Amino acid sequence: MMSKLLLSGFEAFLGNAINPTEAIVSTLDGREIGGAGALTVTGTILPVDFQHGFERLLAAYRRVQPDIVLMLGLAAGRPSISVERVAINCDDSAPDNAGRAAHGSLIDPDGADGYFSTLPIERIVRALKDHGYPAVISNSAGTYLCNHVMYAMLNHIRATHAQVRAGFVHVPASHELAVSAASASSSATPMPSWSQRDLNAAIEIALEVLAEELV
């Protein structure tokens, strides 16, 4: 039987002119991964908005009824792909795209303090490195929208006892974003960046691991 994977990315936010996760998701949307089309990918792009970001993901989740959810976000400044281990029950950040900042509030007052990713994070990191892409396990997804949707998704899966695996991967800036950031600032240190093609290829490798391990 064919399994379904929901792949999410985010729109641009804060000072970043573009979000390379949008292009990753549009490249991989509709693709079949693994032997005999083991895994079909449906992509969705989320607003960087505390009120509506997870709403949008949940709507796609209900429509697609995936077996696996892989959420993507940009971590400008990180040099490697970071596969997140954990999401915490906390919003604390600069303003979202609707202008709302958060100051240490709980995402779900009745939820657990945190949830671990239920994806094979070590296996994904190993596969990326085997293919020559720098990758690490990260022990913090931050306290902005990325942590927010990862927490809310895992919290929802737990609360509904759904047999769905979910996790989050942060990607570095693309060259295009790094170039636009360098022209917008006087900083002499450019942000570390990857080609969009490598970003797309790295996430495809992560999907292949999921197709092999979980389907």
- Tell me which residues touch ligand PCA (CB under 6 A): 10, 13, 19, 21, 48, 73-75, 142, 144-146
* Active-site residue flag, 90: no
Q: Which of 159, 172, 150 is nearest to 71 (CA)?
A: 150
Helix (H) or strand (E) holding 100: none
Length of the chain, in residues? 215
Instruction: CB nearer to ligand PCA: give 40 or 143.
Output: 143
Least CB distance to ligand PCA at residue 91 (A)? 10
Instruction: CB nearer to ligand PCA: give 61 or 168.
Output: 168
* Active-site residue flag, 122: no
Instruction: CB nearer to ligand PCA: give 48 or 68.
Output: 48
- Residue written as token pair 């931050």: 142
Which one of 22, 148, 156, 170 is the catalytic residue? Answer: 170
Least CB distance to ligand PCA at residue 156 (A)? 18
Which one of 22, 146, 148, 156 is the catalytic residue? Answer: 146
Phi, psi of 82 (to 5 degrees): -115, 120
Instruction: CB nearer to ligand PCA: give 48 or 203.
Output: 48
Least CB distance to ligand PCA at residue 185 (A)? 18
Least CB distance to ligand PCA at residue 215 (A)? 27
Helix (H) or strand (E) holding 77: none
Least CB distance to ligand PCA at residue 54 (A)? 12
Which one of 84, 90, 148, 156 is the catalytic residue? Answer: 84
Q: Which of 46, 50, 27, 23 is nearest to 177 (CA)?
A: 23
Q: Is 185 helix (H, G, I), strand (E, B) or coil?
A: coil
- C-alpha 135/C-alpha 131 separation (Å) is 10
Assess contact for 32 and 205: CB atoms under 8 A.
no
* Active-site residue flag, 22: no
Q: Which residues contact 122 (CB under 8 A, 6 or more apart)?
A: 137
Instruction: CB nearer to ligand PCA: give 10 or 61.
Output: 10
Q: Which residues contact 63 (CB under 8 A, 6 or more apart)?
A: none
Q: Name 32's bridge partners.
A: 40
The residues annotated as belonging to the active site are 84, 146, 170
